[in-house]
């Protein structure tokens, strides 16, 4: 009997945890829907931090981004300035699909990133090659962006490996003129 109670509690806990996850359908369409093609057009600056699985901040950073678009194809050039002095780069190549979703590739992304929006939210899922202490890991990225207003976007990313959360990223974008720089 105790074995069955333990199994029931485990299953119930898993269902409870999974039911607490946000779904894109939770965000109803609005008159001003968040579209990354519109927001990430021109210069944008972002500030953020990386937290380990216990929510301890392990790194802080600033990002300078420039988005350029030609019809439904865009390039988002990112330059990261980390608090430990490291500087890294990523170039996203994005294509807006006919259904309004996005496909994206970057030099450190495995395969194709898939992005969808609903209302003020945008979800971007992809597999990233993440270098840590001389070893490169393949991790799943579940990137959520929420447009606060015409100038600001909040970003929360869950980083997981084998289905377990290993880290999180919190990021705030600002494109209000004059756009600030990281230096």
First to last CA, the chain: 63
More confident residue, 65 or 17: 65
- pLDDT at residue 28, as a whole number: 74
| Averaged pLDDT for residues 46-73 | 97
CATH class of the domain comprising 31-174: mainly beta
C-beta pairs of 174-180 under 8 Å, 24+ apart in sequence: 174/44, 174/45, 174/46, 175/39, 175/42, 175/43, 175/44, 175/45, 175/151, 176/151, 176/152, 179/42, 179/43, 179/44, 179/45, 180/45
| Averaged pLDDT for residues 58-87 | 97
Percent of the chain with pLDDT over 70: 86
- Write down the residue that tokens 């495995």 correspond to: 110
| Averaged pLDDT for residues 62-66 | 98
- pLDDT at residue 10, as a whole number: 47
Q: Is 16 helix (H, G, I), strand (E, B) or coil?
A: helix
pLDDT band at 9 (very low <50, low <70, confident <90, very high): very low
β-pairing, 135-147 vs 152-161, is antiparallel
Q: What is the pLDDT of residues 122-168, one digit of tens each?
A: 999 999 999 988 999 999 999 999 999 999 999 999 999 999 999 99
- pLDDT at residue 98, as a whole number: 95
Read out DSSP for 58-80? EEEEEEEEEEEEETTEEEEEEEE
| Averaged pLDDT for residues 114-123 | 95
- pLDDT at residue 31, as a whole number: 67
């Amino acid at each position: 009997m105790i074995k069955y109670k333990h199994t029931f509690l485990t299953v119930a806990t898993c269902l409870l945890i999974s039911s607490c996850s946000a779904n894109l359908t939770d965000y109803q369409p609005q008159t001003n829907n968040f579209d990354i093609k519109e927001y990430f057009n021109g210069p944008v600056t972002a500030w953020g931090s990386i937290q380990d699985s216990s929510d301890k901040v392990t790194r802080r950073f600033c990002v300078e981004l420039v988005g350029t678009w030609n019809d439904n194809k865009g390039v988002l050039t990112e330059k990261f300035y980390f608090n430990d002095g490291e500087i890294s780069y990523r170039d996203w190549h994005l294509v807006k699909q006919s259904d309004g979703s996005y496909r994206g590739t970057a030099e450190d992304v495995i395969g194709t990133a898939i992005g969808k929006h609903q209302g003020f939210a945008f979800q971007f899922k992809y597999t990233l090659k993440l270098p840590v202490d001389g070893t490169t890991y393949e991790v799943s990225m579940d990137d959520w962006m929420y447009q606060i207003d015409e100038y600001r976007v909040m970003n929360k990313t869950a980083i997981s490996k084998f289905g377990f959360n290993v880290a999180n990223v919190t990021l705030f974008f600002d494109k209000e003129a004059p756009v600030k720089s990281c230096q």
